[in-house]
A and B are shown apart, each in its own frame.
Chain A
């Protein structure tokens, strides 16, 4: 039985090593004294203070980078399968703390407990994936055009990987990056969102024992908590950090891309989405309704892959709309640790203001609110962060529909032909996730073809959110083009080296060039 009362939360914090005031700087083995500003973490669930964090400074950042550089010298020489063994042990430690960490994620960020558990499970899944990957950091061999020559390529560790994560996945996105970076032989500096510092601290408390027990040097996994004033552009501009993995908004992502690009570093960008589901006349409507409700209202609309637009064939529009409104009316909105809750709070009051702005805007542009869209007040909603998820009728070209509002608003848009539906689907700046519900193989294959969805993720009869870790995750256009997690995403954490070995006693030049001396 999940209990939302303060005693349960106190026990969870104790189990995870969260104190009243926590240090915001770790080299993996020890917490370091810092002198930065103290931040108080407030739960959007009930508006209560959870704990405080003493943040790091730009001087701390310098020391952290120096330590990470030293750690890299040792870590890169540990055989990859042995690095994988460390990741396996981290995965096991996460298994042992899954419920507590899931609760803290839920309480600090506002997603429901089931989603908090799911997030920790993603960490475990990527750890398992990375363990296998540690024995599969394959390069190709090539046949040389020269006699008694051998060519092959190998992947070497890259160095320090800077990981900047967002509030909506307080711990999983770090794991997607860090587990692969570890097996690749890299070291990690993690800057978490300022809204969910405690979840990051809890993760580092969990892994600390694993690192110490296995004699891992300080500086392999680092956590540095600070605002963008202290650690922002300086982090991106730092040539000592060859890869910056940034998850967040397109606006900040552009800045990251520009700054990292100027120094010809690598950036892995996971930015905004404006994800749509196309509902064709042949779709299984009941399945589509369930996928829409979870995709659009789940996590209170605060996933990058949240369903924000429904593109519905005109012949089934009314039926679908009515069923969707009915389904929304059954959603339970409340404390995220309550088992009956479907929808928790938004992460902040500012997000509620953003939600309200978007609803004013869509109505100004000619749209119509069909359901929800109100802020909840009274018992259980004292934090001021709870809203009723909204369904609105709109047109694809509205400015507000073109933008990503990180809140539970889904826009219903009609279409008459599949070509038109795909044009609407692709007609936004973002290109993360997309879906079609259909039983027509022609429609499904068209959607997946080069003239179909332009997104990094395109699904059939599955919603836009809830990706598995085995596939490469990311999107095109304003979503940034990065890919992380599964498939061959590991390659971005390594540098490729082509080697040619001459085992003859002659020195033939490539392309048959003669250069006799």
Chain B
């Protein structure tokens, strides 16, 4: 089910911080975890941007763009 986009929330982009991402879109945690990117550790968002977190797990720019596209589809409906 699409997740409603809240007012003042911007679309997901590779340079969004993981902290902002999980606060604005908690459901993104599940999607990214399925891809092997755990956004939360010890209950806290990992530091840095989505792109940085993904690159640490070996994903390239093209794959990261796909993640953001998927997330925006999921979030925007």
Interface residues of A, Cβ cutoff 8 Å to B: 166-168, 193-195, 227-229, 232, 248-252, 255, 271-272, 302, 304, 346-354, 356-357, 361, 403-404, 406
Contacts and interface: CB of A to CB of B under 8 A. Distances in A.
A354 B44 contact: no
A249 B27 contact: no
Interface size class of B (residues with CB under 8 A): 20 to 34
A406 B17 contact: no
A304 B42 contact: yes
Contacts of A272: 41-42
A249 B29 contact: no
Contacts of B28: 353
Interface in B1-56: 17, 19, 22-23, 26-30, 33-34, 38-48
Contacts of B48: 228
Given A227-B19, A357-B33, A352 B26 contact: yes
B49 to A, nearest CB: 9
30 contacts: A166-B43, A167-B43, A193-B44, A194-B19, A227-B19, A232-B47, A248-B41, A249-B46, A251-B46, A252-B46, A252-B47, A255-B47, A271-B42, A346-B43, A348-B22, A348-B26, A350-B26, A352-B26, A353-B29, A353-B30, A353-B33, A354-B33, A357-B29, A357-B30, A357-B34, A404-B41, A404-B42, A406-B40, A406-B41, A406-B42
Given A227-B19, A228-B17, A228-B19, A347 B30 contact: no
Nearest to B46: A251
Nearest to A273: B42
A232 B41 CA distance: 16
A194 B38 CA distance: 19
Contacts of A349: 26
A351 B48 CA distance: 18
B43 A168 contact: yes
- 7 A-B pairs with least C-beta separation: A249-B41, A349-B26, A353-B29, A406-B43, A350-B22, A350-B26, A249-B42
Nearest to B56: A251
Nearest to A352: B26
B15 to A, nearest CB: 11
Contacts of B17: 227-229
Contact of A195 (B26, B27, B30, B44): B44
A288 to B, nearest CB: 26
B40 A354 contact: yes
A353 B27 contact: yes
A350 B41 contact: no
Contacts of A251: 38, 41, 46
Given A255-B47, A353-B30, 12 more contacts: A251-B38, A251-B41, A271-B42, A272-B41, A348-B22, A350-B23, A350-B45, A351-B40, A353-B26, A354-B29, A357-B30, A406-B40
A270 B40 CA distance: 16
Contacts of A271: 42
B51 to A, nearest CB: 14
A166 B42 contact: yes
Contacts of A353: 26-30, 33
B40 to A, nearest CB: 5
B41 A356 contact: no
A348 B30 CA distance: 14
Contacts of B41: 248-252, 272, 404, 406
A168 B42 CA distance: 9
Nearest to B41: A249
A328 B19 CA distance: 32
Contacts of B42: 166, 168, 248-249, 271-272, 304, 404, 406
Contacts of B43: 166-168, 302, 346-348, 351, 406
Contacts of B39: 350, 354
A83 to B, nearest CB: 32
A421 B27 CA distance: 36
B9 to A, nearest CB: 14
B23 to A, nearest CB: 7
A352 B43 CA distance: 10
A167 B38 CA distance: 18
A361 B17 CA distance: 25
A318 to B, nearest CB: 32
A153 to B, nearest CB: 36
